[in-house]
Structure 1
Amino acid sequence: MSRSRWFTRALAGVLTVSAAGGCKQQLFMDPADYKDAASLKLPASLESNPHGAIAPGQVDKLSGGTTTVIDFVRPPRHMTLRECVALALEQGNVGSQQPSNPGFKNEQAESFAGRSVSGTDSIKAFAIDPAIATAEIERSVSKFDARWITSMQWQKIDQPVAAQFLSFQQSRDAATFSSTLAKPLPTGGVAGITFSTDYSKFSQSSTTQTSLVNPNYTPRVQLTVEQPLLRLFGVEMNQLSPTHPGSLLLQGVQSTGVGTEGILLTRLRLDQTRANFDILVNYMLLNAEAAYWNLYASYYNLYAQEEGLRQAYEGYRYTYLRVEAGALRPQNLDQIQAQFERFRRQVYQARGTVLESERQLRGLIGLRSDDGVRLVPIDEPNLAPYKPDFQESANDAIAYRPDLLLARQDVKFRQLDLLLQKNLRRPDLRAFGQYDMAGLGTRLDGRAEDFGANGNTTPGNAFSNFIDNRFNSWTLGVRLDMPLGFRDANALVRQAQLNMAKSYIQLRDNELKAVEFLILQYRRVVQTHTEIAPARAEREALQRYVARIKAALLIEGPREQDFLSNLTVQQQLAAAIAAETQAVANYNIALAQFEWAKGTIQQYNNVSVGDGQLPPWVSKRAKDHIRERTEAAIKLRDQPVAPGGVAAGGHSVSQVGGTASLLQLPPFAEKRDPVPENLPAMPEPKNPNDPRPMPEPSRPGNAGSTPEYFQPGGRVQLPPLPSGRPSGANVPPVTGSGNASGGDYFRPTGRATVPEPTPYRPAVSGTGAPAIPSASSDSKPGDRATLPPLPDTSKPSGSIPSVPSGPAIPPTLPPLPGGQ
């Protein structure tokens, strides 16, 4: 056979093996992947110094200290929901995995599971799981990698020989060089090429006796092909099998990727890992949004309790003056003081609720609670009614929920596993073939033949003789390995069938549970939105009551029968404001729960999950962009608006359905006066049992008399009464000059017609009968008395008690977000 023909065959074999070995992919060669792996911010010596001590982390001291209910004032950090979502995605925690009660972080500590430590819910830790599963795919593919096996060995053989004619084989020097390139094929077979050279050197006497070529080199090339025909035959079966069938002819060829599943199953595990990561992201988004609205409701609850405290404070000042004037009983002052203390305790409780709600939100978005600022939510809640099509929502839930996707992938895994087990039930039948080319010579260089002294020729250059291709051998064969009975294989097939049936039943059950949970959230959306209207109506009714009571006080003065009602309404109004905002927060949480139940909460929050590092042109992260936009909107909001123009801060800063602009902040986010911590310092009231003279009220015609009205210890200013309007159960219409607006209806000066008062002071004579002002002989009980105008308060009077002024409060509570 010519040399060119040998070269053609060798070149074809090398190209075939090289083409078969070109399916290997390398890890961490892409710059983005390398940057992602290097950006974990691990200590420099963590990988290179495994014997070093792992030092405990250091808690840095932040400005501001820890906030408490008595040290509550901190600079506000206005935060939108979008910023909370961005912070959670970058550095947050998943939180509790209870969709029916979201908004709480996970307080569970680390636990030891025998070989691993678990318990963290950091989204950074969970984000590494898909990368680990991707590396597992590389391990599974590696079982088809080509292998290069090379060896070199030397021997000295000197063995006793019983037969003299075999002595030359037992006394010689030997050496062997072998190099094999083997490639496991995707079909289950193995193709390989082996080059080897054997060296032998015999004694001189052996050469004389047997005419050996001494020393001799034997170069050899072997082409080997082996292929299973039944078990693990084909590309699909070998992508399912965890190991490669291997080779019986090529010794030492071992399959890599031991301990992994098949390629298709490993890729399925990657999809399941991604689905599980989507589940965790959905939980984190739901918890972050629920915690945000819980903090919103907590701030409104604090706002309501503080307003109640302010009203109780002003009520105490007002009641004290009336008790001193004798218009109210002294025990009323104790009741209003108890009201003040009750609201003060509720303010402390509301502060604790705010601090706890803020701690829950901070834990979900990865912020410490002692950074010296208060997180203040400024997004307006969504108040629009939402009534989606339930059937379409149910179809979306079946299609998009990641937990159902995880269950469907488990059924797919069971299907592929059953297919593999059925194939493994077949017998192991293999076909193999081998082709051998060899040469012989006394050395590896020089001429092709050597001429002896007697004229004989011997092979000289072994490679020259090998290239001449004079010695060829080939082998063909089949091998069958079959168990009798297939008991183990049949049992594995039956287990795979049962596992597939179990997984399918679980899938249908999970789909039914998903639909039922969607029904619950659908009803909750409708219910929570419906609760807002009666809660708002209750709050508005109580606000109207408070406004009318204040107007009545300005017109008629205090009435004993309204005192307890006023105390009750103060409590009810504070509770109504808290209940309304809690209903609004519950509605927005219900919207998030409904999107979670549909599996579309990521789209609802404009979140998408991808692989790899962010593109290099993205210089800043989302949280930084949102933070800058929010701060700019706050600054622009404080600028004056030109007449007929649009506010500069009116641009969108949140998702659809949230805050459209920052033109209006929630009342608790505005700058407000501090709440009173204690009651004003009042002089100790006199004992009501002490006898006190009661002067007569002035009558018409007594121009020289001093206009005094209940003077227990000095002159007291009372609220002005309406001019010309009698007081009683049936109030007649206002009569005047025909002015429809009633311009003098609330005039603070002039004469007023009021019923004859009955003071609550005991009689001076001690008889126990109530003392009444003296009147003329023609006066009768129930007659009306006309009083002169009240004294001018602009003149100083030393007899009026000095009362410290409290913080200014609005006559009514400000409207809540949403145009309430």
Structure 2
Amino acid sequence: MDQIRTRYPMKTQFHQAWMLVLIGTMIFSGCQPTQPFYFKESGDLSLYLDKATDIEYADVDHQRLAEVDNAEAPFTISDPFEMDESKIWNLSLEEAVANSLKNSKAIRTAGGNAVFRVIPGTTLTSDAIPTTLTTRNDAIPTIYDPSLVSTDPQFGVEAALAAFDAQFNANFNWDRVDRPQNYQTGNPFFVAQFGQNLFTGNVELTKKAATGTQWSLRQNNTYDYNNRTSLIYPSSWLANVEMEARHPLLRGSGVQVNRVNVMLARIREDVSLADFETNIRNLVSDVEEAYWQLYFAYHNLEAAKTGRDSALVTWRRVNALMINGAEGGEAEKEAQARQQYFEFRSRTESALRDLYKAEGSLRYFMGLAATDGRLIRPASEPTDAWVQFDWFEIHDEAMSRSPELRRQSWRIKQREIELITARNQLLPQLDVVGLYRFLGLGDQLISGNRTGRDFQQVNSKAWEVLTGGDYQEYTLGAQFSMPIGFRKELAGVRNVQLQIARAKAVMEDMELEVSHLLTDTIRDLDSNYNLVQSNLNRLIAADKEVDSVQAAYDTGTVTLDLLLDAQRRRSDAQIAYFQSLIGYNIAIKDVHMRKGSLLDYNGVFLAEGPWPDKAYFDAQGHARRRSASHYVDYGYTRPGVISRGPVPQGSSGLGYTEEGTIIHDSVISEDGEEIQTPTPAKMPTSLDAVSLEPPATTEVASRSTQSKSELDWNKLGLTKLVSEVRGSTSTPQPLSAAKPASRRVIESASHESGQNPTPAKTAATASGWQAAKR
């Protein structure tokens, strides 16, 4: 009991100590440092990063275009429009197309239809400039796309041809073996501990032929050094040279099935060329449409300015009457005249804004600086010729020359070639194999002199025994495999057949759509030409109405509202005429676009650009060697033809009449006399034509004294249609009756009457296609 009592207090003290330690740990655990303590710490935390990602600039050696760095402040309607003629850039349509092709590495296009159109009375936004380049830049077409497809390392033509290139393979290994053996000690045939140094090396050259045959030439060397007591000598070299040929008899046999990948790669390249042509065509279409929209913007501004000036004259006259308290100067009449003036002033401001937008849109498609201190003014005039097309001829041309249809036809051909591979998979795999081998064994591998020793003798040479030809082996065999039922292969054939059916169905509906689109453009062409004539007669009548009502108002026989309405109708008629004239030229462009001749119409040709001189030198050397060699008939035929030849360019016809020429039509003046349609409208030649500032009071007063027969056609932007607008009470003849009465013949229907588009030269490099215009 005494011993037990003496030990118990010690155990109690031990438990109390542990409890104190645990309590202290719990109390002070929250105050301990979260980072470890180091006795030697330099304080250099340059490798510490407090974030995993950050928004940074890429280290790219890139230089911006001069058109970006040198862009000037844009023109706005708040800026005074006072520039000399040197700041006006008179640009022809041919120059616009040439500049756009020259500056289009990335093809800026709105899909062939310019997204910006000047429509009077509408509110325009920033749609004049597409945002595709900045929002979908990975999908933007470029001049490098055909070359990228051709040089694709996986699916390009060169990648497909690489399957027939010779392959060189080499493998070298050194193994050290030190392994205990499960053999009884003292056994004369086996050792208890096996040691070996083993070296294996082989070199192989293989090539696949177009028929599917796999040729192989191998050289194998093996060095073996081990401690087995049964060997003649502990180390030996085994060398052999073998030739092998493996030829498929069923699946994978034949030139056509083995060159399927090459043909598919070629088709992908042709598809990319069709896409390239489509993108260039859309670019040219957008440039031409933007050009004519800018042309209309100038005349829309001129019409608004003419209406503003007329309204200003009327307002000042009524205001003068109101100040003097004379009849005709009532407050409601003054407010009415003032309202019309500010209405036309707002039209003028909107028209100037639209002009800047149209000019910026054309600059965008041309790849120019947004602003360079100059304002582009179209120098080419729209044609007013009566253009006719033979429906059956252009319909057949659209079916054969449309790049979209040609692209789809390549897709059908692609599916048909894929069907060749799918059907070939229905055959069993039957290969014949032949192998022949020379071998030799020796104490050493090779030496410069032959010793004549056999492999059983010391210091024999493996290569000497091999080249002696005493030891030869060969293998002849056949390998056969076939899936029972061909479930997967039959599904593959059916899938390709359905894809062919789908592609042909799409082709049929695409042709129907092209036919509908061509029909719609022909209707637009005819309707816009008739609108040109109708709006011209409307303009002549509106101008005469203004003169007549102005004279009647001066004598006090009509009220002010009739004069204001007449002035408004004349401005609307002027805008409608130019709108229909531009619509007619755009309709001509659309017909050529739908029938596949828009590039020919604009003098643009597509072709592969020049290669480096070394490429021509090498190609000529290969051609000479082939010409000097002897033709060998290998006994097999080439694959089937997949192309029908190049697409002709520059062979499309333009519009014509029954006599084979393009003609102008005639219109009827208000007094019933036949007159010729106007020569193409001229652009305003003075900067005053686009000035927003109203003319001085004295200048306006002088304008009010003009005779009604002295219409300022030059100010209107038109040449003088009639030498004298004579008043007549005779009833005008129907417009359709005048159509065949008188015709003015011209030579062609290019962008300017009587001028043919200049054929273009193409310029490209080996890295990309380009379409250029000279």
TM norm structure 2 = 0.67
Q: 2: CA distance between counterparts of 1:292 and 1:100?
A: 10
SS, match of residue 442 in structure 2 = coil
Is residue 508 from structure 1 mapped to residue 527 from structure 2 by the alignment?
no
Find the aligned partners of 1:148 and 1:197 in 2 and give their Cα distance.
Answer: 16
Match of 2:493 in 1: 493
Check 1:489–1:121 CA distance in 2 against 1; reply closer, same or farther (3 A cut): closer
**Aligned equivalents of 1:121, 1:72: Cα separation in 2:** 41
Could you say which residue in structure 1 is the equivalent of 2:342? 341
Q: Residue 379 of structure 2 aligns with which residue?
A: 378
1:369-768 → structure 2 map (5 Å cutoff):
369-443=370-444, 444-445=446-447, 447-449=449-451, 458=458, 460-548=460-548, 552=551, 557-561=554-558, 563-612=560-609, 666-672=682-688, 675=691, 677=693
Q: Deviations over 1:499-538 (max 9, x none)?
A: 1111111111111111111111111101101110110011
Q: What is the CA-CA distance between 1:316 and the residue it aligns to? A: 3.5
Q: Name the aligned partner's letter for residue 419 of structure 1.
A: I
Q: Does 1:315 align with 2:335?
A: no
Aligned partner of 1:359 in structure 2 is 360
The one-letter amino acid paired with 2:292 is W
Counterpart for residue 189 of structure 1: 213
Moved more, 64-73 or 156-165: 156-165
- Report the Cα distance in structure 1 between the residues aligned to 2:439 and 2:605, rounded to whole angstroms: 63
Post-superposition shift, 1:547? 4.3
Change (3 A) 1:471 1:819: farther
2:513 partner letter:
K
Which residue of 2 is the match for residue 294 of structure 1? 293
Structure 1 678/524 Cα, relative in aligned 2: closer, same or farther at 3 Å? closer
Task: Please give the alpha-carbon distance, in whole angstroms, between the structure 1 residues aligned to 2:220 and 2:500.
Answer: 51
1:236 aligned residue (241, 249, 256): 256
Structure 2 residue identity aligned to 1:66: P
The C-alpha deviation readout for 1:381-435, integer Å capped at 9, x for no partner, is 0111111001111101000001111111111111111121110111111111111
1:52 paired residue number: 59
Change (3 A) 1:592 1:372: same
Tell me how far 1:546 sits from its aligned partner: 3.7
- 1:425 partner SS: coil
Deviations 1:338-396 (Å, cap 9, x if unpaired)? 22212111111111221222232222222343332222112110111111001111101
Q: Distance in 2 between matches of 1:460 and 1:534?
A: 109
Paired AA for residue 293 in structure 2: N
Q: In structure 2, what is the Cα distance between the partners aligned to 1:144 and 1:51?
A: 41
Q: What letter matches 1:228 in structure 2?
A: P
Deviation per CA, 1:131-154: give whole Å up to 9, x if none.
111012222222222111112222
Q: Distance between the aligned counterparts of 2:692 and 2:137, measured in 1? A: 45
- Paired letter, 1:540: I
Which segments of 5 or more consecutive residues in structure 2 lack a partner in the other structure? 1-55, 118-126, 614-653, 656-661, 664-678, 722-774
- Distance in 1 between residues matched to 2:453 and 2:275, nearest whole Å: 79
Q: Deviations over 1:753-778 (max 9, x none)?
A: xxxxxxxxxxxxxxxxxxxxxxxxxx
Matched AA of 1:130: P
The answer to whether the 8 A contact 1:105-1:364 is kept is no
* Alignment partner, residue 100 of structure 2: 88
Q: Specify which of 67, 72, 94 is matched with residue 75 of structure 2.
A: 67
Give 3-state SS (helix, strand or coil) of 1:186's partner: coil
1:160 Cα deviation after fit: 3.8
**How much has 1:213 moved relative to structure 2?**
4.7
1:176 paired with 2:200, answer yes
- How far the C-alpha of 1:218 sits from its partner, in A, is 2.6
Between 345-354 and 86-95, report the one with greater CA deviation.
86-95
Deviation, 1:329, is 3.3
Count of aligned pairs = 570
Q: Which amino acid aligns with 2:386?
A: P
**8 Å contact from structure 1 (residues 194, 222) kept in 2:** yes
Query: How far apart are 1:54 and its partner, in Å?
Result: 9.0
SS in 2 for 1:445: coil
Q: CA RMSD in A?
A: 3.5
Tell me by how many angstroms 1:280 deviates: 1.6
Amino acid at match of 1:478: A
Post-superposition shift, 1:335? 3.1
Task: Kindly name which structure, 1 or 2, has the bigger radius of gyration based on alpha carbons.
Answer: 1
Partner of 1:156: 176
In 1: Cα distance, 2:400 partner to 2:391 partner = 14
Change (3 A) 1:417 1:446: closer
Query: 1:293 is paired with a residue of what secondary structure?
Result: helix
Does structure 1 retain, via aligned residues, the 8 Å contact 2:549–2:562? no
Q: Is the 8 A contact 2:70 2:369 kept in 1?
A: no
User: d(CA) in 2 for partners of 1:272 and 1:818?
Assistant: 48
CA shift digits 1:585-607 (9 cap, x unpaired): 00011111111110111111111
Within 1, Cα distance between the matches of 2:273 and 2:289?
24
Distance 2:285 2:176 in 1: 77
Deviation at 1:609, TM superposition (A): 1.9
C-alpha distance 193-411 of structure 1, shift in aligned 2 (>3 A): same
The one-letter code of the counterpart of 1:177 is: G
Look up the SS of the partner of 1:440 in the other structure. strand
Deviations 1:529-586 (A, max 9, x none): 1110110011112223344566x48xx9532415333222211111111110010000
Contact 1:219 1:462 in 2 (8 A): yes
Q: 1:121 to 1:168 in 2, by over 3 A?
A: closer
Q: Distance in 1 between matches of 2:212 and 2:535?
A: 72
The answer as to 2:157 corresponding to 1:134 is no
**Residues 170, 480 of structure 1: CA spacing in aligned structure 2 closer, same or farther, 3 A cutoff?**
farther
Amino acid at match of 1:219: A
| Residue 184 of structure 2 is aligned to residue 285 of structure 1 | no
List per-residue Cα deviations over 1:731-764 (Å, max 9, x = no partner).
xxxxxxxxxxxxxxxxxxxxxxxxxxxxxxxxxx
Answer whether contact 2:437 2:474 (CA < 8 A) is retained.
yes
1:450 deviation in Å?
7.2
SS of the equivalent of 2:469 reads coil
TM (norm. structure 1) is 0.63
Structure with more helix by fraction: 2
Q: Which amino acid aligns with 2:150?
A: T
Deviations along 1:92-144, whole A, 9 cap, x unmatched? Answer: 54433265978676634579xxxxx835675xx42222111101222222222
What is the alpha-carbon distance in structure 2 between the residues aligned to residue 432 and residue 441 of structure 1? 29
Q: Is the 8 A contact 1:309 1:675 kept in 2?
A: no
Residue 439 of structure 1 deviates from its aligned partner by: 2.3
In 2, distance between residues paired with 1:120 and 1:384?
43
Gap change, CA 1:607 and 1:105, over 3 Å in 2: farther
